[in-house]
């Protein structure tokens, strides 16, 4: 497999292109730009067949319309409807939280784990040496839970579940998050190995103790996005 990681846009978003070397079929995860990935695939003679969305926040779906219009299949979890997602897409995963289904890219098979908490239908993509964790799990922390459709208890359960999944994977597989944020030692990596992540990630370390987890300061922020989410929740 070939994986291309690119930081696109002004919000530190990381996009990941997965390519089956045998068939030339490609899948883009969380496209910030459709044009960027169509051009990259054209240049390398890869067939960009699908896009997977870890969740439906705008900074992970900005390139979707362009890709959809050119015939790329868009896939995400149906529970993103709970936060208002109405497409465009071609397929919605329906499996329940903390369970997994599979998705093929050429001859490569990936596990699609449903890990809600940052958003109601967030997925984590695992297989072929990589874990694409979106905004569920960053390298040093986890995603916030105070946006519309987010849920603190669901995030806790997802992290307990993911920690067990990660502990069962080869320790040198790479974790590829949805944003390039700094970790506690001040470095700003774009990936960590599973063993490095299990040692460094503050949210995964705290997940073993519910009180400790709930006390983490990065699960909610007092900002305009949180205010917007509170108003939206009040309306529903």
* 200 belongs to the binding site for Fe ion (CB under 5 A): no
CB 54, min distance to Fe ion, A: 8
* 89 belongs to the binding site for Fe ion (CB under 5 A): no
Residues with Cβ within 8 Å of 145's Cβ and at least 6 positions away in sequence, in order, are 117, 118, 151, 152, 154, 155, 219, 220
Phi first, then psi, for residue 43 (nearest 5°) are -60, -35
H/E stretch holding 233 reads helix 224-235
Q: What binding mask, one character per residue, do residues 122-151 give for Fe ion by CB under 5 A, x or -?
A: -------------x----------------
* 163 belongs to the binding site for Fe ion (CB under 5 A): no
Integer angstrom CA distances of residue 164 from 66, 129, 160, 167, 169: 37, 17, 7, 5, 9
CB 143, min distance to Fe ion, A: 6
The 8-class DSSP code of residue 82 comes to G
Pick the binder of Fe ion from 16, 57, 77, 156 (CB under 5 A).
57
* 80 belongs to the binding site for Fe ion (CB under 5 A): no
CB 161, min distance to Fe ion, A: 19
Which tokens go with 188? 């700003």
CB 56, min distance to Fe ion, A: 9
Residues forming the site for Fe ion (CB under 5 A) = 57, 135
């Amino acid at each position: 497999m070939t994986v291309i990681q690119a930081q696109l846009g002004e919000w530190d978003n990381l996009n990941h292109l997965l390519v089956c070397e045998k068939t030339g079929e490609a899948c883009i995860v969380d496209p910030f730009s459709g044009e960027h990935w169509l051009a990259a695939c054209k240049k390398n003679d890869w067939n960009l067949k699908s896009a997977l969305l870890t969740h439906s926040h705008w900074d992970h779906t900005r390139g979707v319309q362009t890709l959809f219009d050119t015939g790329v299949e868009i896939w995400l979890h149906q529970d993103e409807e709970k936060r208002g997602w109405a497409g465009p897409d071609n397929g919605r995963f329906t499996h329940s939280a903390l369970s997994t289904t599979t998705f093929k890219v050429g001859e490569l098979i990936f596990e699609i784990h449903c890990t809600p908490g940052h958003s109601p239908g967030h997925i984590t993509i695992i297989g072929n040496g990589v874990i694409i964790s979106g905004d569920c799990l960053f390298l040093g922390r986890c995603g916030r839970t105070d946006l519309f459709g987010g849920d603190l208890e669901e995030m806790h359960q997802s992290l307990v579940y993911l920690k067990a999944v990660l502990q069962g994977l080869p320790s040198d597989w790479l974790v590829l998050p949805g944003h390039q944020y700094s970790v506690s030692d001040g470095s700003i990596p774009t990936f960590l190995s599973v063993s490095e992540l299990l040692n460094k990630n503050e949210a995964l370390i705290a997940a073993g103790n519910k009180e400790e987890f709930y006390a983490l300061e990065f699960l909610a922020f007092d900002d305009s996005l949180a205010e917007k989410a509170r108003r939206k929740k009040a309306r529903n």
